[in-house]
């Protein structure tokens, strides 16, 4: 039986040049799309404007093209059935997603130092937001431009079988807590933008580095809450390290 055509994507952040880990993800995405007769999508994740390096999106595209990793969407003029493919041009969609989530979101005016003081590092890396602002009056006077967090519903347990990393189970409320959808400076979070775009662009398979595995349950949960039909499968590749074990 021929494989079902897969829509895959490569979603680099143009914060520097294409590195080896990115290239590996692009190559695997490209190959799986081609081998299945599907489509390979290139999406620029340039929301974090202060970190964007001018010219790097164009250099990443040029490197992919030079290596023969031709993408099907967007077309050279930027068009395509799911345009725009650059996140900074998709703000209205993220805004609409926040509106859809409505009461499931709330403003948080905790400062960085308050967050650090209040949240113990969990499982080595993630800090669990303790819900400081969850039950405060959302109409109160804010001490700073507030972030917007997801009120993670009780019992949001997500089970995933990653095609490379295997089964994963996360109780998002307990292990992550109410996470940020839009930062205080107005930047939409990676979790929101990525979850929304993977669904909106009808991606079947997400290929990326193992460092993003722990984001998968948050993105699945958001997809579910936003009414997405079917979550994309995921394949998290091992990180490339040198002989000293460094990335």
Q: Does 46 bind ligand GLU (CB under 6 A)?
A: no
Q: Does 27 bind ligand GLU (CB under 6 A)?
A: no
Q: Does 26 bind ligand GLU (CB under 6 A)?
A: no
Instruction: Give the Å distances, CA to CA, from 123 to 4, 118, 133, 175, 242.
Output: 37, 16, 23, 8, 25
Residue 139 contacts residue 150 (beta carbons within 8 Å): no
Q: Does 204 bind ligand GLU (CB under 6 A)?
A: no
Rounded to an integer, what distance in angstroms lies between the CA atom of residue 135 and that of residue 212? 30
Interacting span for ligand GLU (CB under 6 A) from 6-14, 30-38, 60-68, 181-189: 6-14
DSSP states of 69-133: ---SBS-TTS--TT---BGGG-HHHHHHHHHHHGGGEEEE---HHHHHHH--EETTTEEPB--TT
Q: Contact with ligand GLU (CB under 6 A): which of 7, 8, 12, 23?
A: 12
**Which residue lies nearer to ligand GLU by CB, 11 or 110?**
11
The tokens of 211 are what?
A: 């460092």
Number of residues counted as binding ligand GLU (CB under 6 A)? 7
Q: Does 212 bind ligand GLU (CB under 6 A)?
A: yes
**Which residue lies nearer to ligand GLU by CB, 110 or 195?**
195
| DSSP three-state, residue 215 | helix
Total residues found in the chain within this entry: 247
Interacting span for ligand GLU (CB under 6 A) from 7-15, 64-72, 156-164, 237-245: 7-15
**Which residue lies nearer to ligand GLU by CB, 133 or 213?**
213
Q: Does 203 bind ligand GLU (CB under 6 A)?
A: no
- Contacts of ligand GLU in 140-199 (CB under 6 A): 194
Q: Does 13 bind ligand GLU (CB under 6 A)?
A: yes
Show the beta-strand stretches assigned E in the chain. 7-10, 39-42, 105-108, 121-122, 126-127, 147-150, 157-162, 166-171, 180-182, 205-209, 233-237
**Minimum distance from residue 22 beta carbon to ligand GLU (Å):** 7
Positions that interact with ligand GLU (CB under 6 A): 11-13, 45, 194, 208, 212
């Amino acid at each position: 039986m021929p494989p079902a055509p897969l829509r895959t994507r490569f979603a680099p952040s143009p914060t520097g040049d294409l590195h080896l880990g990115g290239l590996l993800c692009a190559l695997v995405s490209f190959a799986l799309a081609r081998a299945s007769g599907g489509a390979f999508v290139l999406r620029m994740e340039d929301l974090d404007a202060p970190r964007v390096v001018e010219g790097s999106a164009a250099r990443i595209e040029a490197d992919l093209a030079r290596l023969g990793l031709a993408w099907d969407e967007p077309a050279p003029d930027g068009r395509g059935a799911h345009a725009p493919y650059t996140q900074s041009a998709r703000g209205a969609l993220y805004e609409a997603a926040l509106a859809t989530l409505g009461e499931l979101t709330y403003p948080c005016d905790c400062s960085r130092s308050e967050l650090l003081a209040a949240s113990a590092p969990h499982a080595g890396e993630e800090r669990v937001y303790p819900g400081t602002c969850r039950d405060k009056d959302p109409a109160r006077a804010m001490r700073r431009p507030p972030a917007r967090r997801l009120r993670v519903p009780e019992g949001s347990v997500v089970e995933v079988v990653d095609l490379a990393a295997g089964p994963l189970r996360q109780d998002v409320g307990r292990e992550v807590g109410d996470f940020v959808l839009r930062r205080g400076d107005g930047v939409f979070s990676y979790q929101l933008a990525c979850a929304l775009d993977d669904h909106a662009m009808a991606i079947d398979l997400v290929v990326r580095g193992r460092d993003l595995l722990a984001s998968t349950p948050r993105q699945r949960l958001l997809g579910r809450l936003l009414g997405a039909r079917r979550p994309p499968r995921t394949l998290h590749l091992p990180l490339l390290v040198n002989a000293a074990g460094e990335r």
